[in-house]
A and B are shown apart, each in its own frame.
Chain A
Amino acid sequence: MALLQTRELIAHYGDFQALFGVDIELAEAETIAIIGANGAGKTTLMRSIAGVLKNAAEAVQFDGIPIGAEPSDEIMAQGVAMVPEGRKLFPSLSVEENLLIGTYGRKIAGHWTLDTVYDLFPILRERRNSPGTALSGGQQQMVAIGRALMSNPRVLLCDEISLGLAPVVIKDIYKAVPAIKAAGASLIVVEQDIAQAMAVADRVYCMMEGRVTLSGTPDSLSRDAIHDAYFGAGH
């Protein structure tokens, strides 16, 4: 059975409908990537799963329990943590405080502690007392990932963690993914960089205009099929 799944997930921003019945599945210990152009609905999908946007209860199921209608703090407490788009560090908190606040709603013993997060991203140990927003973009992204890991989540949602970063920095950040998987989290990674998504994911979903247009394992998807799913077959 899937650890996390969406069923006919629909989302609106006021009158604007952003998702038109999205079905995705994430198995235990799996990593899936969601790719698609700007405005395809990837971030909306993440925000719906995390509870920032309310849905029908049955539209999102975690461990067989409907969680679609629950608020984000409850969903986080059950073990679904999010690295939000744009990092969203708290400017009033130091690096270490940003990490510590990641455990506010969920304190369970597990692999991830301040020490293991610092081992994963050693630069953060040096900068622990700096304000979170005084760091470089890549370091801020490390804090955002560490903050989500601190609650030892069962599912980690990573929304565009490579956005606005230099390729060499992106590589550094993705180097952490095997350790995150080894510690027992299943991942949903939203990516605009198709090659990066293919490299990291067990399965890939491609979205366009609020719908899933293609899915499969990276080696089963041809460049042309992805191109069509990304931009529409008519282009």
Chain B
Amino acid sequence: MIWVDTIIQGILLGGLYALFAAGLSLVFGIMRLVNLAHGDLIVMGAYLILLLVTLLGLPPFLAAAVAMPVMFCLGWALQKFLLNRTLGDDILPPLLVTFGLSIALQNALLETFSADSQRLPTSALTTASVQAGPISLGVMPLLTFASAVLVIIALNQLFYRTELGRAFRATSDDATTASLMGIKPANIFATATGIALVIVTIAALYLGLRANFDPNIGPARLIYAFEAVIIGGLGSLWGTLLGGIIIGVAQTIGAAVNPEWQILAGHIAFLLVLLVRPRGLFPRAND
């Protein structure tokens, strides 16, 4: 029974990793941009929520809702005025610029908030649990997982049911022909990064409620997110959720065997999937 419990906890943890990864997957899927600052943007989102909680006395969930439009605008501007300039045939400039952005963000957070680790205030809700037979499930991990599934469903609806989604896909296929349809690729990219940062805010909320954070933990979140995206297959949103779950389950199983193996087990699972399916579980046909 302990194994069933371990696997279920791992699946729920996978929801958090899928939330880390969904924004990365969205941005990569639309503009082939690998944002190395993604993890640091999550940490920045957590600090923004913390700021709203401490300054305005808002509960964390409400603070996250307030932070979302702010983060959308930030992402929109970041893409429009900085990252769009790096896009082109060469894949190196976006990597270098987002790598630099990652370092700049970490240091800016360190200057502003110091290296002390922080945490969003917990309430009865964050420590509550429900009993499912012999297994005890935390309300927080359940909420995290449900949010991840909802985010993936919402993104799929946006992609396949709306005009904006059609424009996302068309621009991703062929930006020049898309502009002949009246689409402005620069604005489409900016909107995509804006949406990615809204998802980042949701990820930041659960990150901050679940554990401590400090300005330096961004790159590790980026690696989990990256692994989830790659396992799932680049550009596949449901694949990203599954990728997150695989890493989460591997980590909890690793931790159950030996607490030192938690992180390593996740990375090994990633390497094993790459060995068997180098293009991920659900690769897109036209990449």
- A binding-site residues for B, Cβ under 8 Å: 50-52, 71-73, 76-77, 81-82, 84, 88, 90-93, 97, 100-102, 104-106, 147, 151
A92 to B178, CA, bound (A): 12
Which residues from chain B contact A90 at a C-beta distance below 8 Å?
169-170, 173-174, 177-178
- Residue B117 interfacial (CB < 8 Å): no
Which residues from chain B contact A76 at a C-beta distance below 8 Å?
179-182
Which residues from chain B contact A100 at a C-beta distance below 8 Å?
163, 166
CB <8 Å contact, A104 and B286: no
**B135-190 interface (Cβ within 8 A of A):** 163, 166-167, 169-170, 172-174, 176-184
Which residues from chain A contact B174 at a C-beta distance below 8 Å?
88, 90
**Given A92-B286, A101-B167; A52-B180 close (CB under 8 Å):** yes
Question: 6 closest Cβ contacts across the A-B interface?
Answer: A105-B182, A92-B169, A88-B177, A72-B179, A76-B182, A90-B173
Category for how many chain B residues contact A: 10 to 19
Chain A residue nearest to B168 (CB atoms) is A92
A97 to B164, CA, bound (A): 12
20 contacts between A and B (CB under 8 A): A52-B176, A52-B180, A71-B184, A72-B176, A73-B180, A73-B181, A76-B182, A84-B177, A88-B174, A90-B174, A90-B177, A92-B170, A92-B172, A93-B169, A97-B169, A100-B163, A102-B181, A104-B182, A105-B181, A105-B182
Chain A contact residues: helix, strand, loop or mixed:
loop
**B167-225 interface (Cβ within 8 A of A):** 167, 169-170, 172-174, 176-184
Which residues from chain B contact A82 at a C-beta distance below 8 Å?
180
**Given A73-B184, A91-B173, A92-B173; A104-B179 close (CB under 8 Å):** no
CB <8 Å contact, B166 and A105: no
Could you tell me the distance in whole angstroms from the C-beta of A87 to the nearest C-beta in chain B? 9
Chain A residue nearest to B187 (CB atoms) is A73
Chain A residue nearest to B284 (CB atoms) is A92
